[in-house]
Structure 1
Amino acid sequence: MADYDVVLLVEQELTAADAAQVRSLHEGLDDPVTYHVLLPLEDAAARIEASMGSLSAGEMLASPAMAMSDVDLDAVRKDCEDRSARELHSTVAALKAAGAIVGSATVVSDPPIDALAAKVAEVDGREAIILTRPHVVAEFFHLDWTSRARRKIGVPVLHLLERETFDEQAGGTGEGVTGI
């Protein structure tokens, strides 16, 4: 039997329910399923921008250089790397607890869709699953990861919204699945 390789691109750590939902998609397949997990490195620049946004206009206008001097960029970057590694470790543990075989798990610093395409090619992936929080504006303009992945890779791409059960998605009480 040949492995059925699935590449997961996750925006944040999976819960036990998320992992069980992913695993349930492949129950009943004859071939063993191996999951390869990609978690993008948390964006240190976005964290700095967010913290800058919390400063008042007076603080910024008075002395922008002074406000930035308090930011230790290396510490922020290290914190982002540590946080991403912890989330990846927790995701792998959740998948394994759900009975999944995890072939590889990587924190990626490349653009997420490029990393997804490369991993699908590397492992001869049969499908890709992207798990994200809802991004209404990005999805509307087809700039989200799923739309970009469909244009870039040649395997089926399933987009699941994290922390939504299939019943919530199908019953219209949640955000739903965007294109299968």
Structure 2
Amino acid sequence: MTATIVVLTEESLNEVDITNLRYLIQDNPARFEVLVPADTGRNLLVDVLDNLSLLQFAEAFRDLTGGKPTKDQETKAAEVQLSESLALLASSGLEAGGSVTGEDPVQAVVAAAKATNAQQVVVITTPHAVEDTFRTDWANEAQERLGVPVLHLYSGSGFIGGS
């Protein structure tokens, strides 16, 4: 039987992420349902605090002065990230499908997990100091709403988030 794993990511998957997903399934057949939010619902103040806590001063300054992208720009960026992620999964020999989500990424994960009868959810994000500390990150929110395991990985690393 092929297991379904829902993957929520805020950016394109990379080689390390694929290695982590492959390690997760071992030799068991699995299908990945990749979700990329068009609108992450990020808060400007939280983004600045996250960047400052990670000593990313240039990013914090850009957050403050750069302005917010339009809805159309966010959707196009998410479509590119999804396409890149699906192409990388396919080139790695992993079966995958996916979609761009709307304003509530966690609700999209819950709906996808229920619709596909997913055995697990994997949330792949960059570190978010504020959300991770106060357990308000997507993985913790999804864990509260679902009856399946939710794994939180930091993109491009083997580090497990605080969920």
Q: When the two structures are superposed, what TM-score results if normalisation uses the length of structure 1?
A: 0.72
- The within-5 A match list for 1:87-166 is 87-102=81-96, 104-164=97-157, 166=158
Q: Match of 1:34, SS?
A: strand
Pick one of 140, 160, 163 that aligns with 1:177. 160
How far is the alpha carbon of 1:44 from its aligned partner?
Answer: 9.0
Higher mean displacement: 124-133 or 80-89: 80-89
1:54 aligned residue (59, 62, 65): 65
Letter in 2 for 1:28: D
Larger Cα-atom Rg: 1
Answer whether contact 1:9 1:131 (CA < 8 A) is retained.
yes
Stretches of structure 2 that go unaligned for 5 or more consecutive residues are 45-60
d(CA) in 2 for partners of 1:8 and 1:161?
13
The one-letter amino acid of 2:22's match is R
Secondary structure of 2:4's aligned partner? strand
Tell me the amino acid that sits aligned with residue 112 of structure 2: K
What is aligned with 1:64? none
Consecutive unaligned residues of structure 1, counting only runs of 5 or more, are 56-70, 167-175
Q: TM-score, normalised by structure 2?
A: 0.79
User: Does the C-alpha gap of structure 1 residues 159 and 84 become closer, same or farther in structure 2, counting only changes over 3 Å?
Assistant: same
CA distance in 2, matches of 1:91, 1:20: 13
Return closer, same or farther for 1:124/1:79 CA change in 2, 3 Å cut-off.
same
- Number of residue pairs matched by the alignment: 147
For the aligned residues, what is the CA RMSD?
A: 2.6
| Aligned twin of 1:36 | 33
Task: State the 1:45 CA deviation.
Answer: 8.7
